[in-house]
Amino acid sequence: MSKENVVCGVQNAPHRSLFHALGLTEEEQSRPLIGIVSSYNEIVPGHMNLDKIVDAVKLGVAMAGGTPIVFPAIAVCDGIAMGHKGMKYSLVTRDLIADSTEAMALAHGFDGLVMVPNCDKNVPGLLMAAARVNIPTVFVSGGPMLAGKVEGKKTSLSSMFEAVGAFSAGKIDEEKLNEYERKTCPTCGSCSGMYTANSMNCLTEALGMGLKGNGTIPAVYSARLELAKRAGMAVMDLVRKNICPRDIMTKEALMNALTVDMALGCSTNSMLHLPAIAHECGVELSLDIANEMSAKTPNLCHLAPAGRTYMEELDEAGGVYAVMKELSKKNLLNLDCMTVSGKTMGENIENSVNLDYNIIRPIENPFSETGGIAVLKGNLAPEGSVVKRSAVSEKMLVHEGPAKVFDSEEEAQKAINGGEIVAGDVVVIRYEGPKGGPGMREMLNPTSAIMGMGLGESVALITDGRFSGATRGACVGHVTPEAASGGVIGIVENGDIISINIPENTIELKVPEDELNERMKNFVPKKKELSGYLKRYASLVSGGATGAILN
């Protein structure tokens, strides 16, 4: 598909008349038509600056001899959607974004695309669309927010949610809570820790679909506008060379991304998105591979929420390429993969330097010898579950305790706020999976409340839903099969002992097998009355272990 289908020849005179209606000259129509997918809106802080990014991309495309044409993509702010019905609509937008972008791109005969996303589901949705459409495509994100500062300490959105927990526990007063509220998120951009948005923008670099700095240059830096212009110029080079997304997002490139994921300590949501992107590329990426990669990939970064460093500091230390340079010292990457720069990954990172060993640990002295993500299996999650190992206290890597069971996030939050959760407990939140939610809500409110109340080193939380990239602690998500699909998590009872062993990648419900079988035999999953898009989504979506893709 290209402009030849809509511009050239006598038969396309009607099409050209509509391009004239757009005000496009013959000269503009004769050049490659480049669609710029703008995720700009006025409700998402990570997207409020994208109009300027888009303008810079347009200039880059025009400078390199193309005709830029903008069309939109939607985006939900996970922070604003958090803790209420709105979060049911977060993950589900990933597929809406992919579907609508595919429709727009193929209906209008573009020669190339520049994707301008920033936040959580927007990036993977557009990567999925890029794989489907498979015309020359470059990504340039809006960039991360600068960290806030309270009492001389840097803060990010996770600090804000934990401050609410601290207030509920009487540890801070309302004046201090208001100070956090005013100072935590000081600029536009994707929230400043290694949360899902920044994880996916960094992994876009590792995949080869974004230029150097895509994941780390702060949103408010003018270097971000320069990057956008270069992205516009780069897509024109890809058009000339006919380098397409599936030439770049190969199995080897996806393995590179998973390796960088482990080294950076990315959000657990990457284990939903990378399999879904791989699926669109015709590559199988199972959860089983994650532990294999983790076993041989050291964790080199402890950015918030795992540590007290932020995206601006990762950028100053050399960014994603500096992390990849460290990984290359132990031959952990395939450096022959093609990238949107028109060069191989090896050529891209050749001259990269790690400028701060406190931010990016040298490969010889990592934070840990294993990666930031762990996949746990056992009778409670026979198909898998996911935990951000790098954000778990050493004290909680192995934990055993009695279950406190809740059938929704709201029920769990009420119990946590009411002081019903005590040291040693394992909080179980079910019927929040892809089908059961539906939409697989993030659980940042309950995890942050547990942390803010000082229970982070004594209480675990498991769910068939998922967690925000801002979550830290012994929080195990994506439990599959989920309760709504008849999973074992649906028959857990209050007081049952649950054992979590992250080093050994296991999660077990310690109930005698005959009793477990009897419970399962009598188990009828709860049903919810649904309508609209959520009803359609629930009927099509797969489990979390396969990336919550639509079948």
Catalytic residues: 468
Q: Distance between CA 153 and CA 151 in Å, rounded?
A: 6
Asked if 37 and 4 count as a contact pair (C-beta separation under 8 A), the reply is no
Phi, psi of 464 (to 5 degrees): -85, 0
Tokens of 268: 């657990």
Single out the residue of 23, 473, 128, 510 nearest to residue 268, CA to CA.
473
Which residue's entry shows tokens 């995890």?
447
Q: Is 506 helix (H, G, I), strand (E, B) or coil?
A: strand
Which residues lie closer than 8 Å to 512 by C-beta, 6 or more apart? Answer: none
Q: Distance between CA 547 and CA 278 in Å, rounded?
A: 10
Single out the residue of 255, 258, 247, 256 nearest to residue 281, CA to CA.
247
Q: Is 58 helix (H, G, I), strand (E, B) or coil?
A: helix
End-to-end CA distance of the chain: 26
Task: Tell me which long-range contacts 161-165 makes (C-beta under 8 A, separation of at least 24).
Answer: 161/82, 161/444, 161/445, 161/448, 161/449, 161/452, 161/470, 162/448, 162/451, 162/452, 163/452, 164/445, 164/448, 164/449, 164/452, 165/448, 165/449, 165/450, 165/451, 165/452, 165/453
Tokens of 545: 């272990």
Supply the DSSP string of 92-161, one letter for each residue: HHHHHHHHHHHHHHHHTT-SEEEEE--STTHHHHHHHHHHHH-S-EEE----BPPPEEETTEEE-HHHHH
Tokens of 294: 């983790």
Asked if 63 and 233 count as a contact pair (C-beta separation under 8 A), the reply is yes
**How many Cα atoms within 13 Å fall on the side-chain side of residue 371?**
28
Tokens of 230: 């270069």
Which residues lie closer than 8 Å to 421 by C-beta, 6 or more apart? Answer: 404, 415, 427, 450, 455, 459
Q: Distance between CA 168 and CA 418 in Å, rounded?
A: 9
Which residues lie closer than 8 Å to 87 by C-beta, 6 or more apart? Answer: 78, 81, 439, 441, 442
